[in-house]
Structures are given as structure tokens and as C-alpha cells.
Amino acid sequence: MLGLMQDWPLLCHRIIDHAARIHGSQEVVSRSVEGPIHRTTYAEIRSRALKVAQRLDRDGIKLGDRVATIAWNTWRHLECWYGIMGIGAVCHTVNPRLFPDQIAWIVNHAEDRIVITDLTFVPILEKIAGSLPSVERYVVLTDKAHMPQTTLKNAVAYEDWIAEVDGNFAWKEFDENTAAAMCYTSGTTGDPKGVLYSHRSNVLHALMANNKDSLGASASDTMLPVVPLFHANSWGIAFSAPSMGTKLVMPGAKLDGASVYELMDTEKVTITAGVPTVWLMLLNHMANNKLSLPSLKLVVCGGSAMPRSMIKAFADMGIESRHAWGMTEMSPIGTLAALKPPFDKLEGDKKLDVQQTQGYPPFGVEMKITDDEGKELPWDGKTFGRLKVSGPAVAKAYFRVDSNILDKEGYFDTGDVATIDEAAYMRITDRSKDVIKSGGEWISSIDLENLAVGHPKVAEAAVIGIAHPKWDERPLLIVQLKDGQTATREEILGYMDGKIAKWWMPDDVTFVSAIPHTATGKILKTALRDQFKDYTLPTAAA
Ligand code: AMP
């Protein structure tokens, strides 16, 4: 027997309809790429998104066509998201930090018909436009006054483009399983892979993000997503914030500590989300200038492991931080380290121990750990295994890649190695390809890195496995010191000694001026492995 409830498709544009009707005067504040602060409302965002939809429709963009955005977090970018999705086209967010030839590869693979971009990226696009045959026109997110001279095909200023229609338009109707958005994984090896979100998966993900132990923003919160709209589906914030009527503060092109601080301070931001690198810059700026953020309640931090010292630095200012784990393939929320009973009563180091885990999943994500043969491993907080996930907002295939990515039970292998404890808190110990295999046992490179960055002179640390005649691999610690600091190998190892198992201690420490990163801010281990491929550990000679 079927239920007798309404057939109400879960469509992304219903979120902006809701925001405009119920929270119409709620503000969306942006630092514009041109410079000044811009203020608008959800009601206005919706009416301009309808113009984007109408204008795309007039340009012949149809259901399933891909429209790329290469842009910072601003109100115009948000309007484009809803405008593109509202006619059943696919909003393909491209990460501008990729190398130009990677951008070209992705745009060609997606066969984007229109590219919508910020002023910042016009010069990059001019260089590669000749090798982007599918692109029919470029829309620059600015007005006539700021529109540059450009060689880009059919280039038009966004404000002029949408001024050509009246906004008297209705969203198109289609099934909730229709593709809504696409994001390519950063892929440190091999070609990037396109993850294709559906309307249904995005709406369900927004509901998951809204739960109090997840991002948990309400209509009385002000949220600043430092995480870009182009990184992993904006962590869902482009949907979850409007669905709750949360005030949004968009940082535009300026993500340095001083600029982010200034916006947080003037707009009285209560919740923010971003990767550890961003918080490092913010914390340094605040410490150097003796600043505080009394309005800030919650910092959500994910994308790579949140160092313990960072959790503590926020806690010392009375700010809660919430460590999160996820990935592009998961829309991206996987787990969050909210404190559930009895851990909510903990203090000091014991509390940090729990906050430093990657946390437990909200309803809508299921997880398991298995060995290499797929056998499930116990949730004892000690046994490492391959972390696999399933849920309505988890990918089942990649765009135009003809291979099955799920196991027999329908779980997706995340490529991460993790433990899960009795209380369901998950702890990432490594990427499966980064874990150090020493004498048949696994050493977590992430644990060593987290420990090393706790040293007051260390800015960033990376650990890679170096071939060893006896143990197969042993850890090499690569350290970038804070500006103006000097340190010795013995000083760093002395700091780590006693805090980890003896056999986990790195066999050597080497200092570099800069640790390389991927376009999404993760340590680029492939580059480090290449740089140190001929390195001989002092223990290897013995
Ligand atoms: P991306 O799809 O680019 O967001 O990358 C996802 C990957 O980033 C995950 O599979 C993890 O390896 C890593 N990652 C994300 N969040 C965390 C975290 N909190 N701690 C450790 N690694 C993380």
C-alpha cells in the first residue's frame, strides 16, 4: 500500500523560493570583487536568479546542459547557482586555483556551453579560451563600468546580460533526480572526476546540514562561508543557509586573515566554515593584533585534519570549533565531531581528544570500515580500516566514467583509512595511499603531522614514507618553520618523543621553505614524494 502524501519533488530552487517568501528581507552581504561591500536580500537574490534562468533560456540552454561558474563567493555567484539549476541545467563549479590546463581539461570534459566568471579570472580564461570549443559565451560577473576589454567569445557584463530580460519567468518543472550541479574532485593522481549532484541529493543534504549537531545555523545566525562555492558543493551552505533564513556574509576574493576578520567583526558573524589553512591565517592575525570575536560561536573546520592546537586556540577564546570530515563525492558532509553525552561533560585534554576526531555521521550517512578484502572491522577505536560510506547524497558513479564505484553492499570506498570507536566517533588515520607501511604495520602520517604542528616553531608539517631496507617504509617528517624561526632535527623529535609509540617516531626531519598544496589546500604528497624520492634515511645505512 502506498502512502497518501503529496508528491512534492525536492528541487533546489524551492529553497530560494522559501527563503524569499519566509525570510525575504534577510540580508546577503558580500565583499564585491570590485571592492565595496554589497548588501542584498534573499527576496532580491531570488528575483535576479529568475532573470539568470530566463536569460539562459533565451540563450538556448536546455535541461541537462552544463553552465560553468569560475567565481568567488558573492551574491552574484549565488544568483547564478539558483538561476542555472532552476531551468534544469547543471551548475558546474570550476576551481580557479587549478592549473590553466586542468581547467581546460575539466571544461572540455564537462562540455560547458557558457562560462560565468569573475573579473579576476578573465586573464586566465583568455589564455585557454582557444582550446575550449564547447563554450559559446562568457559572462563576466560585473557591470558595464567595470567590464574589461576582452578577447573572450561573446563576452558580456552580467548586469547587462540579465538586464535584457524582465524576470517574468517561472522555474522549469522536472524530476527531483535531475542533475543540478557538478564538481570535479581535485584528484592528486589521474584525471579529475566529475561528481554530479541531483536536486534531490542537494535538498536532502541541506536538511542534514541543518541539524543542530551538524552546521546547525538558524534564522538568527549570521554565517560566513570561507569555504568557496567551488569547493565540494560549498559544503552545502548555498542551500542550507537560505533554507533556514540564515544571514549570509560572502568574503569575495579576500580570504586572508585580516580581511576575514574584518568582515566577521563588522557583520557580527556567529558561524563560519572553512579549511584549517584559513583558520591558521585568522588565528595568526588575531594573535598578532590582540583581537577578539565576541559574536563568533562556532567554527566548522574540515577538508583536512584540524590540528589540536587550533581547537584549543579557539576554545581559549571561548569559541567552539567543530571538526568535520567529508568529500566532494559526499556533497560533502560525512561526519562532525559534535559532543554527544557523556562526552559533553568532558573538560581539558579529554574533551580535546573527542573534538579532534572527525566525529560521527548525521542521519543520512552510513559508514563502515573494512580490510582490503572487504570484511567489516570492529568499532573499537583501534583497528584501522578502509572507510566506506553510503547515503542519498553520496555518489554512485562519476560523470562519463563507465565503472562501478560501489561495493556489493552499495558502499563507496572513500580512499581514507580510519578507526571508529564504540561511540561511533570516526578518526581518519590517513589516505590509503599515504599511510606508512612499516614492517607490516600501519603508521598514520596525519597523526605525526598533527603532533609536529603542535611545536611552537612549526608552521606546517608533512610526513611521507621513505623506502627502508629492513622495514619497507619509515616516516620522514618534512617541516616548514614559522617565519623567522630556526630549529634542529633533535628539537622537533625531542618534542614528539613520549607522545607517540616509539616505533612511530620519524626516522628523520628535514626543513623546507614551503610545503606544496593542492588547489583545495591539501598537502600535495605526490610532489613531496617526488622531491624526496632519492632521500636516504640515516637509519637505512645501519
Ligand atoms: P575533497 O573531495 O577535495 O574535499 O577531499 C576529500 C578528502 O579530504 C577526504 O577523503 C579526506 O582524505 C580529506 N579530508 C576531508 N576532511 C578531513 C578531515 N577533517 N581530516 C582529515 N582529512 C580530511
Q: Is 358 in the pocket of ligand 1 (CB under 6 A)?
A: yes
- Does 542 score more than 60 pLDDT? no
> Most distant CA pair in the chain: distance in Å?
78
How much distance in Å is there from the Cα of 326 to the middle of ligand 1? Answer: 6
Q: Tell me, what's the pLDDT at 215?
A: 96
pLDDT score of 442: 81
Q: Is 437 a catalytic residue?
A: yes
CB 284 within 8 A of CB 239: no
77-135: pLDDT as tens digits: 999 999 999 999 999 999 998 889 999 999 999 999 999 999 999 999 999 999 999 99
What's the mean per-residue pLDDT of the chain?
95
**What does the pLDDT look like over 223-270, one tens digit per residue?**
999 999 999 999 999 999 999 999 999 999 999 999 999 999 999 999
Please work out whether the CB of residue 232 comes within 6 Å of at least one atom of ligand 1: yes
- Pocket of ligand 1 contains residue 301 by CB under 6 Å: no
Which residues are CB-neighbours of 365 under 8 A, at least 6 positions away? 208, 330, 333, 334, 335, 389, 390, 391, 393, 394
Span 35-80, pLDDT tens digits:
999 999 999 999 999 999 999 999 999 999 999 999 999 999 999 9
Confirm if 181 and 97 have CB atoms less than 8 A apart. Answer: no
Architecture of domain 12-207: 3-Layer(aba) Sandwich (3.40)
User: Residue 2's pLDDT band (boundaries 50, 70, 90)?
Assistant: very high
The predicted pLDDT at position 395 comes to: 98
**CA 124 to the chain's CA centroid:** 23
**pLDDT band for position 221 (cuts 50, 70, 90):** very high
Ligand 1 neighbourhood includes 416 CB (under 6 angstroms): yes
Topology given in CATH for the domain delimited by 345-393+410-431: Luciferase; domain 3 (2.30.38)
Q: Is the dihedral of CA 265, 20, 275, 97 positive or negative?
A: negative
Task: Report the nearest atom of ligand 1 relative to the CA of 305.
Answer: 20
Task: From 102, 183, 327, 412, give the residue whose CB has the most ligand 1 atoms within 8 Å, as the site to mutate.
Answer: 327
Residue 193 neighbours by CB distance under 10 Å: 20
Residue 336 one-letter amino acid:
L
CA neighbours closer than 13 Å in the CB half-sphere of residue 91: 33
**Average pLDDT score over residue span 299-304:** 94
pLDDT in tens, 315-335: 999 999 999 999 999 999 999
Pocket test for ligand 1, best of 185, 229, 522, 526 (most atoms within 8 A of CB): 522
Catalytic-residue membership of 442: yes
- Comparing CA positions, the residue from 77, 69, 5, 14 lying closest to residue 48 is 77
Catalytic residue among 79, 267, 329, 449: 329
- Over residues 454-508, the pLDDT tens digits come to 999 999 999 999 999 888 899 999 999 999 999 999 999 999 999 988 999 999 9
- Among 185, 246, 270, 357, which one carries the catalytic annotation? 185
Please state the pTM of the whole predicted model: 0.90
Match 556574509 to its residue by C-alpha cell: 249
Q: Please report the atom of ligand 1 found closest to the CA of residue 332.
A: 4
Torsion from C-alpha of 484, 488, 490, 494, nearest 10 degrees: 0
Pair 442, 383: CB distance under 8 Å: no
Answer yes or no: is the C-beta of 447 below 6 A from any ligand 1 atom. no
| pLDDT greater than 80 at residue 189 | no
Confidence check: pLDDT of 449 > 90 = yes
- pLDDT at site 188: 56
Interval 130-149: pLDDT, tens: 999 999 999 999 999 999 99
Quote the radius of gyration of the chain (alpha carbons, Å). Answer: 24
Nearest CA to ligand 1 atom 15: 303
For the CA atoms of 128, 132, 136, 138, the dihedral, rounded to the nearest 10 degrees, stands at: -30
What share of the chain in percent tops pLDDT 70?
A: 99
CATH architecture of the domain covering 436-541: 2-Layer Sandwich (3.30)
Render 185-253 in DSSP notation, one character per residue: ---SSSS--EEEEEHHHHHHHHHHHTSTTTT---TT-EEEE-S-TTSGGGGGHHHHHHHHT-EEEE-BT
Mean pLDDT of 258-286: 95
At residue 384, the pLDDT reads 87
| CA neighbor of 28 nearest in space, from 283, 267, 290 | 267
Question: Does pLDDT of 168 surpass 90?
Answer: yes
Kind and range of the H or E run holding 368 = strand 366-370
Domain ranges across the chain: 12-207, 345-393+410-431, 436-541
Q: In this model, does residue 187 exceed pLDDT 90?
A: no
Catalytic hit among 27, 442, 457, 526:
442
Catalytic residue among 268, 437, 499, 533: 437
> pLDDT tens digit string along 351-409?
999 999 999 999 999 999 999 889 999 999 999 899 999 999 999 999 999 888 999 99
* pLDDT score at 361: 98
Whether ligand 1 lies within 6 angstroms of the CB of 357 is answered as no
